[in-house]
Amino acid sequence: MLKPLHHRRSPVHHALMSCSALAMLAGPLPTWAAPAAEPAQVQARQVQLDLPAQPLDQALTAFADQAGLHLLYTTGDVAGQVSPALQGSYSIEQALQQLLAGSGMRWHFSDARTVTLRTAQPAPQAVNLKPIQVSVASRTSTAISEIPGTVWVVDQQQLREQIDSGVSLKEAIGKLVPGLDLAPEGRTNYGQNMRGRNVLVMIDGVSQNSSRGLSRQFDSISPFNVERVEVLSGASAIYGGGATGGIINIVTKKGEPGPARFETQLGASSGFNNSDDLATRFAQSISGGNERVNARLGISGEQNEAFYDGAGDQIFIDNTQTDLQYNRTIDVLGTLGLQLNDQQSLDLLAQYYDSGNHGSTGIYFPSLNYNSPSDLEDAELRSGYSSDLEPRTRRLLLNANYHHTDVLGQDFYLQASYRKEDDNFYPFPYYNRATPTGSRGVYFAASQQNFEVTSLKGLFAKQWDTLKLTYGVDLDRERFNAEQTTFNALTSSASGGLDMEKESKAARYPSYRVDGVSVYAQLDWHASDNLTLSGGARRQQMDVDVSDFKGVPGGSNDYQVNLFNLGAIYDFKNGHQVWTNYGEGFDLPDPAKYY
């Protein structure tokens, strides 16, 4: 478990250094999916391999990296076994047959890029210690058993069990991942920390965080489009800013080779409070492809009504961070995988996500008077609510990942991404300036905060017999602006805060731009069959430009930080391991508030 050693806060940034050592309708409606075809074309795909004879666990890690696959297996099943050398061009099937010859292991494809390995007759009650390969934050594929840290993988079945009970994605992850705080039911995930620190949330390696610090990272994707969730606990120098508590990488579903495959989900949940608390879900996807091209398109929709507590009373609407009562969500996500040749592949993703309020129930204040004594006491929920600016999260995400298995004898990865996000808030009451407070009435206003984030990340990876070197460059640019909509005070007061007509719009926070440039390197050394040592460093520079705001001049500044990590893991080869690590993380304070 990670134990903080040192924490420092200054006007410009704070850094973390740490050291670690060891009521529903009788259930949702059933899900239907057409069976997937056997991916014979994937098994026949040719790959270039450069694998020396080595422990089988290490060979499988290197093979997965060079072939662009994810391998799922129990490390104890391959402990003490040695693989033959593989040099040259092989089909996936040939390579697996030769690597696993005499090991007593069988394999099958779970999907186009995931291979599950099992013993021919698995022992009952086998200990499943760190069994899976992960690529948290789109770095190279690494076996969990070789990571000196706490890593969790939440698979699709585990997610489905939670989601089908009526909880959201962030609530499901909070229940399944130790060390991650439980999530609130609203739109925000504010306060859902890991080991007391903020987490960096990603979708296929693309950050959903921002310097502004809004906590809507999980209000970004439908669980229907999620394949699994990878969680790395603790600060990490490799992933840089925002990862002081850990990293959560949401991996999306991809297309599989074979004929068209359709998946349909229908679901509903209710506490039988008439239809006032009914939540409904519908989702549909189509996927398919061949050894060169695969694709998937998934469309998901969800409609919530009111939320009630255990006593049968409706939960009050959150007019600060907003909630998901009377909320409608649409998620459209498409992926395209291209095998350009035996050495090159390209994966594309496009997503549109819209989650917003569509209800007519709002907060009614009975004691509002236009420009005369008013108070906000005795508020209640009533129908008749209408607003020109509804609480909403709207996102557009574009992502491209390119992989070449032999650039100057190294694996090369290049990722380019673009994210545009608009976040609206609930109309909030403010007292007009007067003495005593409330003597001149109240007015209502709501903000809309907008982000544009572009990034380009390049990475090289080289595997030798006992050494693996990973190094690269990250380039990021984030733009932010915010507007405040003020509603007609006469109309809002006369309706008790139920009728919100836009009257004016002005800047809410100063606009800013943050440019980040980072270089990093990570070295992993298999010192022996039992001992693996790792270390890395990151140099991160961030340039901040803040615009003028309401008579206050803006300005610019730049920040540099060096981050380091060290780790060691000892494998007893009997299903038990001991590990220790040291890591550093970095957070930039909110430029819109604290510049």
Q: Is the pLDDT of residue 346 over 90?
A: yes
Percent of the chain residues topping a pLDDT of 90: 54
Q: Report how far residue 575's alpha carbon sits from residue 390's, in angstroms, rounded to the nearest whole number.
A: 53
Residues in the chain: 595
- How far are the Cα atoms of 69, 109, 132, 365, 396 from residue 117, in angstroms, in the given order? 13, 9, 10, 62, 37
Confidence at residue 274, expressed as pLDDT on a 0 to 100 scale:
64
Answer whether residue 128 shows pLDDT above 60. Answer: no
- Percent of the chain at pLDDT > 70 equals 88
Q: Which residues, in sequence order, are bridge partners of residue 559?
A: 542
- Per-residue pLDDT, 74: 80
Produce one character per residue of 376-402: b if its CB has 16 or more CB atoms within 10 Å, e if not. Answer: eeebeebeebebebbbbbbbebebebb
**Eight-class DSSP state of 175:** H
DSSP 567-581: EEEEE-SSS-EEEEE
Q: How confident is the model at residue 14 (pLDDT cuts 50, 70, 90)?
A: very low
Cβ count within 10 A of residue 161: 11
Least confident range of 136-140, 282-286, 514-518, 534-538: 136-140
CA distance 547 to 533: 46
Global pTM?
Answer: 0.79
User: pLDDT tens digits, residue range 175-226?
Assistant: 999 989 998 888 998 889 988 888 999 999 999 999 988 889 999 999 999 9
With a CB cutoff of 8 Å and minimum separation 6, the contacts of 177 are 152, 154, 194, 231
More confident residue, 566 or 145: 566
> Cα angle at 166 between 158 and 178, to 5 degrees?
45
Name 327's bridge partners: 357
pLDDT bracket for residue 297 (50, 70, 90): very high
- Which residue in 559, 565, 472, 477 sits closest to 519, CA to CA? 472
The CATH number assigned to the domain holding 540 equals 2.40.170
> Under a CB-based contact definition with an 8 Å cutoff, are residues 461 and 468 in contact?
yes
Q: CB under 8 Å to 77, separation ≥6 — which residues?
A: 103, 104, 105, 117, 118, 119, 122
- Peptide bond preceding 373: is omega within 30 degrees of 0, i.e. cis? no
Mean pLDDT for 384-408 is: 96
Helix (H) / strand (E) containing 86: strand 86-91
Domain count, the chain: 1
pLDDT tier at 121, thresholds 50, 70, 90: low
Question: Above 90 in pLDDT, residue 358?
Answer: yes
Say how far apart CA 330 and CA 102 lie, in whole Å: 50
CB 345 within 8 A of CB 402: yes
**pLDDT 10s digits, 363-391:** 999 999 999 999 899 999 999 999 999 99
Of 35-39, 380-384, 573-577, where does mean pLDDT reach its minimum?
35-39
Residue 505, pLDDT > 90, answer yes
Q: Which of 228, 294, 288, 239 is nearest to 259 (CA)?
A: 288
Question: Residue 566 pLDDT more than 60?
Answer: yes
Q: What is the average pLDDT score of the chain?
A: 86
Q: Which two three-digit tokens encode residue 216?
A: 């809507």
- Structure-token pair, residue 322: 């907003």
Over residues 216-245, the mean pLDDT reads 86
pLDDT tier at 41, thresholds 50, 70, 90: confident
What is the per-residue pLDDT for 25?
32
pLDDT of residue 39: 57
Which among 287, 285, 284 has a CA at the least distance from the CA of 258?
287
Of the candidate ranges 30-34, 219-223, 261-265, 364-368, the one whose mean pLDDT is the lowest: 30-34
Range of the domain at 37: 2-594
pLDDT at 595: 65
Distance CA 232, CA 44 (A): 33
Task: Measure the CA–CA gap between 420 and 396, rounded to whole angstroms.
Answer: 5
Q: Which of 584, 579, 573, 470 is nearest to 533 (CA)?
A: 579
